[in-house]
Amino acid sequence: MKRVSLAFTFALATALASPGAHADTLKTVKDRGMLSCGVSQGLPGFSNPDDKGNWTGLDVDICRAVAAAIFNDPTKIKFVPLSAKDRFTALQSGEIDMLSRNTTWTLSRDTSLGANFTGVTYYDGQGFLVKKSLKVNSALELNSASVCVQTGTTTEQNLADYFKGNNMKYEVIAFAGADETFKAYESGRCDVVTSDVSQLYAERLKLATPADHVVLPEVISKEPLGPMVRHGDDQWFDIVKWVLFAMVDAEEMGITQKNLDEMAKSDKPDMKRAFGTDGNLGEQLGLTKDWLYRIVKAVGNYGEAFDRNVGAGSKLQIARGLNQLWNKGGIQYAPPIR
Ligand SMILES: N[C@@H](CCC(=O)N[C@@H](CS)C(=O)NCC(=O)O)C(=O)O
């Protein structure tokens, strides 16, 4: 079954990723007057709608930053909620201009899906969530456990690798959506649920008594999460890539949503380049000279977006950890704006 769907995906990717199929995405987006951005179906901290349909989250802010850079208006977006399984076809078919949905960058996704990852918005890894009452302290104590997992994810594959690699038996109980997966776990259909650690923290908040559940210490994989665009449009690839870099570089340069107007008056050469008061770097991307100003005004720098959505200023309370800047002990690093 799995093989059939992979072959099908590959054929579809090849058919749709033909050069020129969606070559001028920037023009398409401008003509439409709106960015179409693929997100999750609801994951607090990353992409989550409230009861009025307003989306917030770190992944959502990446979409908003791209819209701000193009339209100087972060609301010119149509959010398209996608399951793990459907996310890539939506990108391939042109239904969305970019995917910003807690998606792990892997070799096969970079190649056979006909897509490009534009960077890493969140360095994650896979973990396990169990009920405290189970009295398990380590994933290595999970031999013979039943495990709830979402289909169409790297999670499913890592789970198999981890149990095989540690000579442990397990029973998989797989679901297409996150809600079903976590409801099944909560109702006791499985002993443990596995997913990217950030998503475990997010989903735990939705459980009846979050404090009854604990994330085990093992992180069993690398899950670099980032936005994706289609192959075949280098300008669009550059735009989505540099919007994230602008957010990371802005943090490194000390440019914040609050001090933006002050910083924009700076005489320093790197500030003048970033704000477009010297040179035309934004225009080289197909945007405007004030592209970085627009981005930071709309969503803040990377650290601000992180804190507000998943970090210290959010309900998730996730530590910066690996997602701290490279010169502050983490691995977030953006090439220079010059
Ligand atoms: N990062 C992994 C997992 C992504 C994933 O879909 N995780 C689930 C686990 S919570 C999720 O986000 N579901 C939300 C949804 O289906 O809307 C991948 O790219 O395959």
* pLDDT tens readout for residues 80-108: 999 999 999 999 999 999 999 999 999 99
CA separation for the pair 183, 123 (Å, rounded): 26
Q: Is 151 in the pocket of ligand 1 (CB under 6 A)?
A: no
Instruction: Work out which ligand 1 atom sits closest to the CA atom of 104.
Output: 19
Q: Is 100 in the pocket of ligand 1 (CB under 6 A)?
A: no
Q: How far is the CA of 226 from the centre of ligand 1 (A)?
A: 12
Fold of 126-221: D-Maltodextrin-Binding Protein; domain 2 (3.40.190)
Q: Read off the amino acid at residue 193.
A: V
**Whose CA is closest to atom 11 on ligand 1?**
178
The pLDDT value recorded for residue 167 is 97
Q: Is 177 in the pocket of ligand 1 (CB under 6 A)?
A: yes
What confidence tens digit (pLDDT) does each residue in 213-263 have?
Answer: 999 999 999 999 999 999 999 999 999 999 999 999 999 999 999 999 999
Q: How confident is the model at residue 1 (pLDDT cuts 50, 70, 90)?
A: very low
CB of 56 closer than 8 Å to CB of 268: no
Q: Is 203 in the pocket of ligand 1 (CB under 6 A)?
A: yes
Test site for ligand 1: of 102, 161, 193, most ligand atoms within 8 A of the Cβ: 102
What confidence tens digit (pLDDT) does each residue in 172-206 have?
Answer: 999 999 999 999 999 999 999 999 999 999 999 99
Q: How far is the CA of 195 from the centre of ligand 1 (A)?
A: 7
Instruction: Work out which ligand 1 atom sits closest to the CA atom of 42.
Output: 17
CA separation for the pair 16, 8 (Å, rounded): 12
Q: How far is the CA of 161 from the centre of ligand 1 (A)?
A: 18
For residues 166, 167, 173 and 176, what is the CA-based torsion angle, rounded to 10 degrees?
50
Q: Is 195 in the pocket of ligand 1 (CB under 6 A)?
A: yes
Which residues, other chains included, contact 192 with Cβ-Cβ below 8 Å and sequence gap of 6+?
128, 129, 130, 134, 136, 142, 145, 146, 147, 148, 185
Q: How far is the CA of 256 from the centre of ligand 1 (A)?
A: 30
**Whose CA is closest to atom 14 on ligand 1?**
178
The CATH code for residues 2-123+225-328 is 3.40.190.10
Test site for ligand 1: of 9, 39, 40, most ligand atoms within 8 A of the Cβ: 40
The pLDDT value recorded for residue 97 is 98
Domain limits of the chain? 2-123+225-328, 126-221
What confidence tens digit (pLDDT) does each residue in 292-311 have?
Answer: 999 999 999 999 999 999 99
Q: How far is the CA of 174 from the centre of ligand 1 (A)?
A: 13
Q: How far is the CA of 151 from the centre of ligand 1 (A)?
A: 9
Q: How confident is the model at residue 148 (pLDDT cuts 50, 70, 90)?
A: very high
| More reliable by pLDDT, 30 or 13 | 30
Q: Is 153 in the pocket of ligand 1 (CB under 6 A)?
A: yes
Instruction: Provide mean pLDDT across the span 157-168.
Output: 97
CB of 58 closer than 8 Å to CB of 46: yes
The pLDDT value recorded for residue 23 is 84
Q: Do domains 2-123+225-328 and 126-221 have the same CATH topology?
A: yes
Q: pTM for the complete prediction?
A: 0.93
The pLDDT value recorded for residue 22 is 57
Q: How far is the CA of 150 from the centre of ligand 1 (A)?
A: 7
Q: Is the pLDDT score of 20 beyond 50?
A: no
CA separation for the pair 280, 259 (Å, rounded): 22
